[in-house]
Structure 1
Amino acid sequence: MTSPDVLRCGLVGTGSWAGRTHAPALRDHKNTEFVGVWGRRPEAAAELAAAQGTTAYDDVDALFAACDAVAFAVPPDVQAPLAARAAAAGCHLLLDKPLATEPVAARAVVDAVAAAGVASVVFCTMRYAPATAAWIAEQATVDGWFTGRADWYGALYTPGDDAEIRATTPWRAERGALWDVGPHALSVLLPLLGDVTSVAAGRGPGDTVHLLLRHASGASSTASLSLTAPAEAAGVTVELRGTAGVSAMPSGRGNAQESFAVALDVLLESVRTGVPAPCDARFGLRLTEILSTAEGALPPA
């Protein structure tokens, strides 16, 4: 580290999410030095680096060697092997969700993190947006939750009219809402209701998936996930019911850069203290395991 309080951070990824959220947050955070970016397209890395006043790296391992920590903004099954390499190089990890779409790949990241003794955080936006994070923390102290529901209805694309999505983030169009917004829903439900012990899954229109979950606390929950909802029907709702009554998560996702800066704070604290973050690579592995089980339980399309 350049000082006890500053992390030299690199960025893997050059897409719109990296450019709008990760890079500005890494540049502007008072406790990070944004040392460089690597992407699978060197011209895109050069363009992003120039816009952010940092260095474009042609060799990802050279970027890892120059960093204390690396943030990832690439598809999950590109992220996982690169994250394992970064951990082996001694870099702390700020990972995007989902960690991977195959449990074996996610487990390899967890093993690499453990072997290297580095810190890790998985960036699930709702866990770090100030308003929703405060609500999650408050509800986690309340006993007696009987059931919960998480409705994540997006209108990101519609089948037959998704050329831009398929061109820019093909994994999202191919894997659908289960893998894109499923991690968000689980990242809220698990800290409130406990680990998932059983999963049932069904299909709806488009890429819509409905999950029925049983939790270690004895509570049950449902999660409805879609990227193909009509624009008029889009929205996010999380609600809990129990002996304390009914509690609904505040609406609105907040500012993504602000949430990412909070995730950076959590990573820095984990680096400083050696205490694993609640939403670390092991949590990312658990999300992948649950979603993989759900995918296997879905009837044929």
Structure 2
Amino acid sequence: MTTRVGLFGTGPWARRTHGPALAAHPDVELVGVWGRRPEAAAEVAAEFGARAYGDPQALTADVDAVAIALPPALQAPLAVEAARSGRHLLLDKPLAATAEDAHAVADAVAAAGVACVVFFTLRFDPGSAEWIDKQAATGDWFTGRADWYGAVFGGGASQYADSPWRREKGGLWDVGPHALSVLLPVLGDVTEVHAARGAGDTTHLTLRHDSGASSTAVLTLTAPPAGAGVAVEFRGAHGVVGYPDGVSGPATASFSRAIDALTAAIAGGPVAAHPCDARFGARVSEILAAAEAALG
């Protein structure tokens, strides 16, 4: 069974991750591309052998599913509209720019009974997913930390430096979902959120989980390039375990696994919830919003 997919978005993430993975996937036909700039939509469509659409509703009408690579404030209403039209969804993190909009997506998905997968990169990377699952199965963790030091606005040459939504929402909303996608499956849902500001856009989070464990996260897009990187570790009765260097593969391969998850859910009859579904995406947005409110 081939799933006809429409791609919404023409930026670097759409060109480098969504487009290549969708065009190469054996169970997908990339039907068309829509973007806010018609000339960019034409370029991306031509690159991946698809048709450029001038109207998002027209593209939605011609496909079985939509993949959205747009800023969260734009993704949410398009996702709601697509779900209400009976289209399956392959979405990006964060699900929306507010908790309310994220819940609107989750509610629309539930009401329509469509499949939805939210692309939390590490949860679909084989090495990272295996490591996360192993720590979740081990359990009995006392505390954890997940620090993302991005240098998007830290003086390096980043392809995402011209992203207005990242400048507005900062590391909390851009790399915060990565941290939460690791902490929540291992330590449990968050029951308490505290946040403090650091240099630049840096946010320091302190979280309490329903397992009784606590965790911290440092989230920024303004780290100096020499100080950029990711640090994840858990401490407990079993000792200390850290996220291994070099375990993650290319984002395109991880996105292909997200496509696998979506097409499997579509082909399996009654749609089964995926661990990274719209409800999980909404919960992550809810925690980010609580942290944002705590910052004042």
Question: TM over 0.5, yes or no?
Answer: yes
**Regions of 4+ moved over 6 Å:** 161-164
Distance 1:26 1:265 in 2: 10
Which residue matches 2:205?
A: 211
2:173 to 179, 191, 195: 179
Give the whole-Å Cα distance in 2 for the aligned partners of 1:204 and 1:162.
23
Query: Equivalent of 2:182, from 154, 178, 188?
Result: 188
1:269, distance to aligned residue in structure 2 (A): 2.0
**Structure 1 residue 282 and structure 2 residue 275: aligned?**
no
Q: Alignment partner of 2:137: what SS? A: coil
Structure 2 CA distance for partners of 1:220 and 1:84, relative to 1, 3 Å? same
Alpha carbons of structure 1 residues 142 and 104: separation in structure 2 relative to 1, 3 Å: same
- The unaligned stretches of length 5 or more in structure 2 are none
Residues of 2 paired with 1:143 and 1:26: CA distance?
A: 36
Contact kept? 1:165, 1:173, Cα under 8 Å: no
User: What's the RMSD between the two structures over aligned residues?
Assistant: 1.6
Given that 1:98 and 1:284 are in contact with CA atoms closer than 8 Å, whether structure 2 keeps it comes out as yes
Match of 1:267 in 2: 262
Asked if 2 retains the 8 angstrom alpha-carbon contact of 1:155 and 1:231, the reply is yes
Tell me how far apart the structure 1 counterparts of residues 159 and 70 of structure 2 sit (CA, whole Å).
Answer: 17
TM-score when normalising by structure 2: 0.96
State how 1:64-75 maps to structure 2 within 5 Å: 64-75=60-71
**Cα drift, residue 251 of structure 1:** 2.6
Letter in 1 for 2:291: A
% identity of equivalent residues: 60
Describe the SS at the equivalent of 1:229. Answer: coil
Q: What is the distance in 2 between the residues matched to 1:162 and 1:129? A: 25
C-alpha distance in 1 between matches for 2:240 and 2:148: 19
1:37 paired with 2:33, answer: yes
- In structure 2, C-alpha distance between the alignment counterparts of 1:70 and 1:116, rounded to whole Å: 15
In 1, the alpha carbon distance for the partners of 2:28 and 2:8 equals 16
Q: CA deviation at 1:10?
A: 0.8
Runs of 5+ consecutive residues of structure 1 not aligned to the other structure: none
Q: Report how far residue 225 of structure 1 moved.
A: 0.6
SS in 1 for 2:230: strand
Measured in 2, the distance between the counterparts of 1:92 and 1:123 equals 14
Distance in 1 between residues matched to 2:196 and 2:232, nearest whole Å: 19
Determine the structure 2 residue equivalent to 1:258: 253
Name the CA shift for 1:138/1:36 in 2 (closer, same or farther; >3 Å). Answer: same
Instruction: Calculate the TM-score normalised by the size of structure 1.
Output: 0.94
1:235 aligns with 2:232: no
Question: 1:93: which partner in 2?
Answer: 89
For the residues of structure 2 that align with 1:256 and 1:272, how far apart are their CA atoms? 24
